[in-house]
A and B are shown apart, each in its own frame.
Chain A
Amino acid sequence: MSMTQKAEPAVTTPPASGPKETDGRTAQRPLAIRLLARPEVGVFLGAVAVYVFFLITAPPVREAGSMANILYQSSTIGIMALPVALLMIGGEFDLSAGVAVITSALTASMLAYQLSMNVWVGVVVALAVSLAIGFFNGWMVMKTGLPSFLITLGTFLILQGVNLAVTKLVTTNVATDDISDMDGFDQAKKIFASSFDIGGVEVKITIFYWLAFAALATWVLLRTRYGNWIFAVGGNKESARAVGVPVNFTKISLFMLVGFGAWFIGMHQLFTFNTVQSGEGVGQELIYISAAVIGGCLLTGGAGSAIGPVFGAFMFGMVQQGIVYAGWNPDWFKAFLGVMLLGAVLINLWVSRTATRR
């Protein structure tokens, strides 16, 4: 990393003026086709299609309040889908992301309640626990060289069991006690689970966090060295290491970022519902991963964006609420998800084959 440039001979700069010579082998494709070749555009069109579909079939969707609800639903998926997407671009999976949310919420809730402390103590300890889980996942993956699928499947099962067993042990119940009358609760609720009134419509704060995190993630991915490293460690780990990219740091920190996301959503759930059901969260990790994949993140790493998963999460939130507004059985949600996932993957495949054909 300490290789800096030493000399600047005047002779190396070619004449700046004159038309740039080209090698004449790359013909510029039409703009529309180049745009379509981008996975983010594909998922954007998909999200619009799903929106229009429910706009027609479920009249209540047309109201502003419904939109706020749909966006809220999307944001709770989307905030976790972002770090999961970054991790996927970095070439790894985290199957423990769903139950880690509950672990974080349980930690904060039980610690504060059982020791009768300010809820902020629980919040801070939960953050430490979540980051530690992320670090453990990343460290194990890097240390053993095993696929992250296996390592995090292990963590997933461990956390699932620990969530239930420890909760029963501590509270003799499957849910934690209500913490809404404890010190610091109102303050924490303002930060993690408040809502605003915008033009007579109640808008949840998570929507703003979601969009802010997405903007931040986009900036980091495209404009910082760390973002460069994420693409590199996902694209070709060995090449990245050979040119001096800190591969272990990058991957472990990505796992910890997922831990941070789990903590954030965990706190949101805790301060929205006041109690935590210890058996929840199972299956959520696949929803996050699906949102990232529909958003155009490459399952094998090395390619993707932060904006794609935003639309991916919106599609999911739209379908989840849309089914309710349309008055259908909510059990259809998962079936819808599967169809959307397959559809998105097939369309992406078809588009990228057509558009990149040479």
Chain B
Amino acid sequence: MTSTNGTGTHGAVIADTAADQADGAIVELRNAGKSYGNIRALHGVDLAVYPGKVTCVLGDNGAGKSTLIKIVSGLHQHTEGEFLVDGQPVRFSTPREALDKGIATVYQDLATVPLMPVWRNFFLGSEMTRGSGPLRRLDIEKMKKTADEELRNMGIVLDDLEQPIGTLSGGQRQCVAIARAVYFGARVLILDEPTAALGVKQSGVVLKYIAAARDRGLGVIFITHNPHHAYMVGDHFSVLRLGTLELSADRSEVSLEELTNHMAGGAELAALKHELSQVRGVDVEELPEEADLTAPVAGGGEGKS
């Protein structure tokens, strides 16, 4: 890797590519699916990611969320349907290829090296250097300055970039990882359950930076099993259930209650109804019964794709 120069903000690039496309989707899955041997983990999934929009993928454990992001991030290949980036069909064999296309994944636990300073973490693997040959060394001043600027642009203010990143809260660490992905040329940001291990306040911090990344023109895929978090920042919602699309709807077409119902689905609803009645004071009587939920399947999404 050669030394990296300049600040990495990509608003201009995104605007160009968006104009080229008819529908503007950076990443699109059409009727995509994935089988592991004779097990069909995912099939018939449509998904589109637009610049400046947050696409939420919801689903319970085992619904196929991980398989979906592994296809998009290049860890696995799809076995049916189409996967398009900028309108061109692609098939990634390594995460590196996805990264080169501007698709960056921020994993829940794979984001940082806890004992290393914030700025070293920010540039890890893509360090800026100066000098050449045996004298090639880290350009520490420039890296610190750039990291500070980039973090401030995302609204993260840290007193001391020398502090080990492990001393930051879980939410702040996620935010640094997001800022890093944005800086290193991401156009599409995949966030794998960024709020799953976090408390209420920290989740709020992460959601704020998801919104910040969206406002900088990135397309965001936000994977979660928390419909409340999804509804706070999402523009489009796709609910997976047993490997298929249970719901695909824009924000205007779906309410939080409906989203929660779809997310919970079937047998789990009764328990959730009970919980909701205690926790949030929702009028449980108005929630649909189990039988009502089998009808509306993937209705909203078909008009779009």
Contact = CB atoms under 8 A, between A and B. Distances in A.
A57 to B, nearest CB: 39
Contact of B116 (A1, A235, A298): A235
A235 B110 CA distance: 12
Contact of B107 (A4, A235, A242): A242
Contacts of A198: none
A5 B124 contact: no
A9 B114 CA distance: 32
Contacts of B107: 242
Contacts of A228: 116, 120, 124, 127, 138
A243 B8 contact: no
B137 A223 contact: yes
Contacts of A245: 124-125
Main secondary structure of the interface of B (DSSP, over half): loop
A238 B183 CA distance: 21
A172 interface: no
B125 to A, nearest CB: 4
A23 B159 contact: yes
Interface string B138-179: 101000000001001100011110010000000000000000
A1 B159 contact: no
A1 B126 contact: yes
Interface in B1-50: 1-2, 4-13
B153 A14 contact: yes
Interface residues of A, number: 38
A6 interface: yes
B1 A1 contact: yes
Contact of A7 (B12, B100, B136): B12
Contacts of A302: 113-116
Contacts of A227: 138
Contacts of A3: 99-100, 126, 184-185
B11 A7 contact: yes
A9 B11 contact: yes
A26 B160 contact: yes
A112 to B, nearest CB: 31
Contacts of A8: 6-7, 9
Nearest to B14: A7
A219 B140 CA distance: 13
Nearest to A233: B113
B276 to A, nearest CB: 35
B185 A236 contact: no
Nearest to B156: A23
Interface in B75-131: 95-96, 99-100, 107, 110-116, 120, 124-127, 129
A248 to B, nearest CB: 14
A12 interface: yes
Contacts of B129: 225
B12 A12 contact: no
A231 B120 contact: yes
A145 interface: no
A2 B97 CA distance: 10
Looking at B4, B126, B158, B163, which has the most chain A CB atoms within 10 Å of its CB? Answer: B126
A242 B74 CA distance: 12
Main secondary structure of the interface of A (DSSP, over half): loop
A239 B111 contact: yes
Contacts of B110: 238-239, 242
B159 A25 contact: yes
A224 B138 contact: yes
A223 B100 CA distance: 27
A225 B127 contact: yes
Interface string A170-204: 00000000000000000000000000000000000
A239 B113 contact: yes
A331 interface: no
B6 A235 contact: no
B113 A232 contact: yes
Interface string A253-269: 00000000000000000
A303 interface: yes
Nearest to A242: B110
A6 B113 contact: no
Contact of B114 (A12, A13, A236): A236
Nearest to B129: A225
B52 to A, nearest CB: 16
Contacts of A236: 112-114
Nearest to A298: B115
A56 B157 CA distance: 53
Contact of A223 (B4, B111, B138): B138
B168 to A, nearest CB: 11
B109 to A, nearest CB: 8
Contacts of A12: 7, 9, 149, 153
A313 B95 CA distance: 44
A22 interface: yes
A21 interface: yes
10 contacts: A2-B1, A2-B100, A6-B13, A22-B159, A23-B159, A223-B137, A231-B115, A238-B110, A239-B113, A243-B126
